[in-house]
Amino acid sequence: MVRRLTFVVLLAVLAVSVLAVPASARTRAFLAKPSRISCVASKLGTTGAAVRCDLPFIGHKAVFLHTRGKAKIQHVSGFLHPGHRSTLGRGEEAHYGQFSCKSLKTAVTCRGGNGHGFTVGRKFQLTF
């Protein structure tokens, strides 16, 4: 129960930080091409960070990865529409703090420094 509450609080903080703070050193957005998956990496306070990638092709879902813990796919009420975002072409990889994300032909893979991560695409979603 405490873990679930902690995760819900994390999601709320991530949503507020992404919506309330313009693209800056705290928040970096990118579009993975050619899969067209939109993601945001955000710094949360002084010790944490998270990556969120929207998955509109499977309903109102997004995958979240925090610096502490395994990635999770959760229901979201809306999708992110960052004003400024970089583009990752096929095969390109970028580092966002403790995270590395790579754009694949039909998916995007992000990994955290803790060994956890995800690979998500239109036909499959894998969290580890």
pLDDT at residue number 25: 54
Residue the block writes with tokens 């502490």:
68
Q: What are phi and psi of 7, to 5 degrees?
A: -65, -40
Condensed to tens digits (0 to 9), the pLDDT of residues 54-81 reads: 999 999 999 999 998 999 999 999 998 8
Three-state SS at 58: coil
Three-state SS at 92: coil
pLDDT at residue number 26: 85
pLDDT at residue number 1: 47
Domain spans in the chain, listed from the N-terminal domain onward: 2-127
Strands 37-44 and 27-32, bridge-based pairing: antiparallel
pLDDT at residue number 15: 43
Residues of the chain with pLDDT under 70: 1-25
Global pTM?
A: 0.78
Chain-centroid distance of CA 67 in Å reads 11
